[in-house]
Amino acid sequence: MASGRTFFELVAFFRGFEATLGHVVLVIADVHELPSGVPKRLEELGLTVVRKRLPIGDYVVGPGAIVERKSVLDLQDSLLKGRLWLQIAGLRRTADWPYLVIEGTSLAQGPLGDEALRGLWLAVTDLGVAVLRSDDTADTARWLLRLAVRRQEPTARDRPAYAQRFRRAQPHPAEAALAAAPGVSVKTARLLLARFGSLAGVIRAEPAEWQLISGVGPQRAASLAHMVHDEWHPDRTTSHSDVSRNGRPAT
């Protein structure tokens, strides 16, 4: 997984290439996947495979559909070295249809136990990334074939409600603005807005008044105050450098 063209440029490339091929099913494979043999197997299954350096994931199987392939050992190594959650975050941020393929006949390989990997599997699923289980590279290629066909087939526009993809409701902009403060949840943001009537009303209130709201203690009030009143700096990633995302002092 390497930097190069942006993902959106790759999607545009995908759509243009797909349009010229008509009914041909296309998969973009990251160049680092060539040693695995999966791209070759995809071609043997009749797919057109384009080899590119992908900024996110290992395979693009359709517009907005990205697959990260991990052997069981690679999955454990990525987790232990801190890469996995960054890769999962990239999938969630970039793909409409994110997938993780776990490849290997047994989960009981490597330093992590079977139960730890099952918990990881559920955590990734909870984040909205579909997890697929594969025995080997041949099985992975068959999964990618099925995904590519599914994601590139024309979809009916009059699907019944039960067949439509679920999308989470987005928070109100005022809720999102307050919840950007470290330690402040959307629930707390809603309580603040209910009490003070608007984002402007919250900003005009004193920190002591914020603490009258259930769940807003001195640290969260301080976090809100820093977000509202601190001078902006382009190199800051949070509104208060001394407060972590859970509202406690950073260590």
pLDDT (tens digit, 9 = 90+) per residue, 48-79?
999 999 988 999 998 889 999 999 999 989 98
CA 106 to chain centre: 26
On the question of pLDDT at 27 being above 50, the answer is yes
Residues 77-110: tens digit of each pLDDT: 998 888 999 999 999 988 989 999 999 988 877 7
CB distance 104 to 71 below 8 Å: yes
What is the rounded distance in angstroms from the CA atom of residue 57 to the CA atom of residue 29?
Answer: 9
Angle between helices 84-94 and 72-80 (to 10 degrees): 100
pLDDT band, very low/low/confident/very high, at 169 (cuts 50, 70, 90): low
Looking at the domain 7-153, which fold is it?
Rossmann fold (3.40.50)
The C-alpha atoms of residue 207 and residue 210 are separated, in whole angstroms, by: 5
Q: 0.95 cut: is pTM over it?
A: no
Give tens-digit pLDDT for 180-231: 888 888 888 899 999 999 988 998 999 999 999 888 989 888 888 888 888 7
CATH code for the structural domain at 169-251: 1.10.150.20
**pLDDT value, residue 248:** 45
| CA 28 vs CA 45, 83, 125, 185: distances in Å | 15, 22, 24, 39
For the chain, what are the domain ranges?
7-153, 169-251
| Long-range own/partner contacts, residues 77-82 (CB < 8 A, 24 or more apart) | 77/110, 79/112, 79/120, 80/111, 80/112
The rounded mean pLDDT for the chain is 80
For position 243, what pLDDT does the model report?
Answer: 44
Amino acid at residue number 59: Y
Find the farthest-apart pair of alpha carbons in the chain and give their distance in angstroms, rounded. 68
